[in-house]
Amino acid sequence: MGQPNHLPSSGHQATTLLAPTRSKPLQTLPPSSAAAPKSDLSAYEPVKTLRKTLQGSVVLMRHRSTGVRYAVKIAQKRLVNAGRSLSGVRVCENIQQEVALLRDLSRTPCANIIQMADCIEDDDRYIVVMEYAARGELFDFVEERGMLTEPKARQIFAGVVHGLESMHNRSICHLDLSLENILLADDATPKICDLGLARRLPPASGAPFQGSISTRPGKLSYMAPEVYVGRDFHGTQADVWSLGIVLFIMLFGFPPFEIADSSDIRYDFMQRRGLRALLDEWKLGSHVSRDALDLLAAILRPAHSRITLAGIMRHPWMTRAA
């Protein structure tokens, strides 16, 4: 049984949305409390396109008066309103909901969550101005290095766990955690981004989200097994599973399986024999510490026995000095 030899595709889509049009503050939402100057898009000078998205692009822009650089997410309004991607595929991402959640999170800012600076709406586009994380996606960071040392992986993972804890404490779950949705600042501080699929937890304490094959959130490689099969699921548990896939890829340089389903030979093997046996098949069982394997095994298990976020923070691998 061979190991996967590449990271899951980032899935970014292509478009160009830089042409200026008449702008106004985003009318569907209250004014932002972030510290950036309020303006229309003409106040920002495009520098370069950072990446493509399903409904537009993320562009590096410089504020003309202050010189501060921002990552500006631009989405075509017609696609957002129709719930479609540039290729016409139905999408669940919602930039307006993302702005509302980012604003909520900004009331108690967390260094490990990307901060929104401004939001703008013009005739054709929804525009979100966010802080710029200069070192880019964790996906690219890992792809360049192949695998990270345990101290480096722990440093990044601890920051992501802290950011996710802050979200869960605000009754928000991300539901799309991946290497692409974690950015690195100049000092390598990890920052969770892309809350387009994030949801508020159900008001009834302990109530699950309704599962559905057609609207399951997230990327397949990072998706919890209960989400993949369309069962009702708890958002916090699904986020923890995705954390485990992120940690595995940082430590080994590739994902453990393509989908968390018995139809995937590697996932099925892990379910029957255990994670250590799967790694031994690839002669990687001794590549990382016993504590690291124990934490991964505690995460990559069925929802009812999966470790909690609080349990992750107390785990010996997390509390060990770097």
CA distance 24 to 39: 8
204: left (phi over 0), alpha (psi -120 to 50) or beta: beta
Q: What DSSP designation does 86 have?
A: T
Q: Residues 40, 140, 176, 194: which is the catalytic one?
A: 176
Give the pLDDT score at 247.
99
Residue in the structure block whose two tokens are 């896939």: 245
The answer to whether 246 touches 153, Cβ cutoff 8 Å, is no
The answer to whether 257 touches 264, Cβ cutoff 8 Å, is yes
* Burial (CB count within 10 angstroms: exposed 0-12, middle 13-18, buried 19+), residue 112: buried
The answer to whether 154 touches 317, Cβ cutoff 8 Å, is yes
3-class secondary structure, 173: strand
pTM for this predicted structure:
0.87
- Non-local (6+) Cβ contacts of 183 within 8 A are 114, 133, 135, 136, 137, 138, 190, 191, 193
Domain 136-319: which CATH number of 1.10.150.120, 3.40.50.1820, 3.30.479.30, 1.10.510.10: 1.10.510.10
3-class secondary structure, 197: coil
pLDDT in tens, the chain (322 residues): 666 655 555 444 333 233 333 333 333 333 333 445 456 888 999 999 998 988 999 999 999 999 999 999 999 999 999 989 898 888 888 899 999 999 999 989 999 999 999 999 888 999 999 999 999 999 999 999 989 999 999 999 999 999 999 999 999 999 999 999 999 999 999 999 999 999 999 887 788 999 988 888 999 999 999 999 999 999 999 999 999 999 999 999 999 999 999 999 999 999 999 999 999 999 999 999 999 999 999 999 999 999 999 999 999 999 985 4
Q: Helix, strand, coil % (nearest 5) of the chain? A: 35, 20, 45
Q: Which of 298, 228, 215 is nearest to 257 (CA)?
A: 228
What are 126's strand-pairing partners? 75, 121
Q: What DSSP designation does 224 have?
A: -
For CATH 1.10.510.10, the residue range(s) in the chain are 136-319
The answer to whether 126 touches 75, Cβ cutoff 8 Å, is yes
CA distance 269 to 208: 28
Q: What value, to the nearest 5°, has the Cα angle with vertex 14 and ends 173 and 53?
A: 10
Question: With respect to CATH, is domain 44-131 assigned 1.10.287.40?
Answer: no
Give the pLDDT score at 7.
59
Judge whether 123 counts as a catalytic residue: no
Give the pLDDT score at 204.
73
Could you count the other beta carbons within 10 Å of the beta carbon of residue 184? 19
Residue in the structure block whose two tokens are 């255990």: 274
